[in-house]
Structure 1
């Protein structure tokens, strides 16, 4: 009754059956005429998760092919698993196996969205950074318009679901069910606004000036002379902003010369208020929330803006020095914050 290397499938089944009936391992070994240590080892191993002998290896793909797959994935970013494997000369591998192999070699990502930057854009961005690198950005009022829809941006409603639970239903409307346009600004620790743009208003230069006169100007006039003397007004190069009529109207308000920041084209990445929109929309659409009316959406915007901490605003406006340093040292000229 010597010890053998392993048990046969029939012997294993019989051991499990006898052990389930309450027999001791010594009695089972006598019944099967096998070494007691062999039976005890099988029972002990069956109580724990068995570890594959080939753990860490891919039986369908050789090590050389895996090296080629990794090289192909590096040369062909954001391609499908089929395209990567075909480029590596490993076609015919099932999709599940391809994904399992790539999970060990790479990470799934979506392409990052960036504004198109020409050579002229890059040059103007560098000139802007050099001009304002010594500016105290706590005196700059960063402004912009934002649009929020009733259903929220695509892809914000996904999440994990426990097996057996029904997938919640979401309304689907044309153009996201319309939405609300609003304007706001951030300066130092302060959030100015938001102020809602009236329904159906096309933001021409005349309407933009009228909007600033109704909303920005009252806030500006409440500040003391020292504040008004040091403030720098920033807005981007939208047609309504860059129009001569707008510049002349701002000059009449006292926003002219060095008090009006010259903004480089195609540079939303340099404006910290863009990060504020992301923070706000995450709060508005938390949990895949949808809205049934524009008034309900606007109420949510106002409520969540009030909940944004002054420290959050301060962190955004304080990031400008880091943005300029990254712009001056970034060979791709794009700043990600």
Structure 2
């Protein structure tokens, strides 16, 4: 027997459901199960608005009632506001967040004995107590490292405006390491990012800062492994011409700084630099495991923000190198001055914190 079509209802459920003859299999009073509700939603989603009651063997009025209730579902009166939470629960959550910092909301709530709380509720509670941060990064310092850093700070508490801070840096085609996140308007397509196969490739370059001046950048040739011999050759080709253009008074007061990379600390490098006139007190003996003391590391952060501004990526190394040169020209002398002037505060903090900066 074919089902008899039901009349049109005010809620628009008319054509959804077919009215079938009632039988013992079509139970009217029993509530719909979760599986039956899911089946109704799927049928409506596929555009099948007829024969639902016949398919489920349920009374058509039960199905109509479910659809009408779904369409006229009451909006929660306190939507958008934080539901009341006891003071003790807040205390336990705050204590757990303090004991295990930089953990997920789920881990914090479980530590506070609040498992099973939805993520949205967890985050809304934590927003009133804390903010999201990344762990601060510092080198793995032993007690011996800290002592050497303290001795270094006491020895070089001097005028750092005469120090040339140098280092190498690498920039990649795909962009800086780490997750790239940001807000996106609803309905707009998600932008894509390039991902080169077998690594993205990049450009290695060398630069220095002194007072208000940015020296370089100078590009390291492609495929060159920076051994002591190559490092000396690089300084001879790029640093030495800049150094010899300065007057005698400048050359007499400059102090050269580079870290303890093998190519920098090699005896051949020291002998070659001595032949250039940079030796003895004109070279800073850098403490081990101390990249955080070098202000040029902050310059790299500023530079990469400019290079990759707006999520920019590059398709060739030459294009990337041109962006590096352009970004370096945009760095103001005041920015460089601020970095080199920060050394006094760094040393004071290093001494007061007994060998650490953070």
How many angstroms apart in 2 are the aligned matches of 1:306 and 1:165? Answer: 35
Question: Of 284, 307, 328, which residue of structure 2 is paired with 1:261?
Answer: 284
Matched, 1:71 2:95: yes
Q: 5 Å matches for 1:181-260? A: 181-260=204-283
How many angstroms apart in 1 are the aligned matches of 2:243 and 2:138? Answer: 33
C-alpha change, 1:221 and 1:89, in structure 2 (3 Å) is same
Q: Name the structure 2 match of 1:334.
A: 356
User: What SS does the corresponding residue of 1:171 show, helix, strand or coil?
Assistant: coil
Give the drift of 1:158.
Answer: 2.4
Matched, 1:93 2:132: no
Contact 1:150-1:176 at 8 Å conserved across structures = no
Q: Give CA-to-partner distance per residue, 1:235-263, whole Å, 9 cap, x none.
A: 00000000111111111111111000010
Q: Give CA-to-partner distance per residue, 1:260-319, whole Å, 9 cap, x none.
A: 001011111111111111110000000000000000000000111111111111111111
Q: 5 Å matches for 1:1-337? A: 58-59=83-84, 61-133=85-157, 135-155=158-178, 157-174=180-197, 176-331=199-354, 333-335=355-357
How many angstroms apart in 1 are the aligned matches of 2:163 and 2:120? Answer: 53
Contact 2:146-2:356 at 8 Å conserved across structures = no
C-alpha change, 1:65 and 1:157, in structure 2 (3 Å) is closer
C-alpha change, 1:149 and 1:54, in structure 2 (3 Å) is closer
Q: Give CA-to-partner distance per residue, 1:10-62, whole Å, 9 cap, x none.
A: xxxxxxxxxxxxxxxxxxxxxxxxxxxxxxxxxxxxxxxx9959966x43x42
**Which has the higher mean CA deviation after the structures are superposed, 177-186 or 94-103?**
94-103
Give the drift of 1:155.
Answer: 3.7
Per residue, is there more helix in 1 or in 2? Answer: 1
Q: Is the radius of gyration larger for structure 1 or structure 2?
A: 2
Runs of 5+ consecutive residues of structure 1 not aligned to the other structure: 1-49
Runs of 5+ consecutive residues of structure 2 not aligned to the other structure: 1-75
How many angstroms apart in 1 are the aligned matches of 2:356 and 2:199? Answer: 30
User: What SS does the corresponding residue of 1:181 show, helix, strand or coil?
Assistant: strand
For the aligned residues, what is the CA RMSD? 1.9
TM-score (normalised: structure 1): 0.80
Contact 1:220-1:228 at 8 Å conserved across structures = yes
Q: Give CA-to-partner distance per residue, 1:45-98, whole Å, 9 cap, x none.
A: xxxxx9959966x43x42211111100110111122222112111222222211
User: What SS does the corresponding residue of 2:128 show, helix, strand or coil?
Assistant: helix
Aligned length: 283
User: What SS does the corresponding residue of 1:129 show, helix, strand or coil?
Assistant: helix
TM-score (normalised: structure 2): 0.76
How many angstroms apart in 2 are the aligned matches of 1:256 and 1:307? Answer: 33
How many angstroms apart in 1 are the aligned matches of 2:94 and 2:308? Answer: 38
- List, as ranges, runs of 4+ consecutive aligned residues in structure 1 with deviation greater than 4 Å: 50-56
